Amino acid sequence: MSDYRELYLDSVSHRYGTKQILSSVYLSCKIGETVGLLGRNGSGKSTLLKVIFGTLNPHFKYARLNGKPFKKGYLTGQIAYLPQERFVPLHVKIEKLFHLFVHTHRDLVFSTDFIRDHLRYTADQLSGGLQRLIECFLILYSDASFVLLDEPFSQIAPIYVEEIQDHMQLLKAKKGFIVTDHYYERILEVSDRIVLINNGCNYKITTKEDLALHGYIPSMK
């Protein structure tokens, strides 16, 4: 099977001290696809995203981008990452941030009412939830072909969750998304495929019953 315009990882293994977090995990994502990543706290979801992006060196991984091996995702210029931690400078105007982060899709993002209405603000003039939404848009509309989203739906109002989901769909023809969040129902809504990380391994999920089978949610009976 061709891996053209595909992010592919195999045999990802990592441990913290003596605790094995990931064990031979594999994951793939193609342009036009949203892959949902689920798992309990401490299961290794964020670890896996950091491994892909390159801010964490695992004990082992095999990674390809569009068929070519890579070591650190951020060095490719084709992989963007929204971490759980805030990263937007508080005293820089939103407009300047978008000029720094966004090039190819700048006109499109500036046509968004929410963004256009806040361009003259600095991040410290916005609520925490709005700051997080700005961060999401900076990463969504970056020039990267593959976007990693760690907890994009947390700490923001439901109306803004829907805003993020809508823009993911808008950009989907041009990008591939890997997204994880504790609000698993939101992940189910937006994803084409679901992968569960459990006991260091990954499992393909097709129904809620599968999530119950692996103990992620209560039994459906």
Task: Give residue-wise pLDDT tens across range 87-108.
Answer: 999 999 999 999 999 999 999 9
Please give the Cα distance from 35 to 54 (Å, whole number): 19
pLDDT for res 3? 45
Contact present, 127 and 98 (Cβ < 8 Å): no
Burial 143-152 (b: 16+ CB within 10 A, else e): ebbbbbbbbb
pLDDT, tens digit (0-9, with 9 covering 90-100), for 148-206: 999 999 889 998 999 999 999 999 999 999 999 999 999 999 999 999 999 999 999 99
Q: What CATH superfamily is the domain 6-213?
A: P-loop containing nucleotide triphosphate hydrolases (3.40.50.300)
pLDDT for res 84? 94
* pTM (two decimals): 0.94
Please give the Cα distance from 10 to 199 (Å, whole number): 17
Question: CA dihedral in degrees (94, 97, 99, 100; nearest 10)?
Answer: 180
Quick one: tokens of 196?
């569960």
Contact present, 20 and 68 (Cβ < 8 Å): no
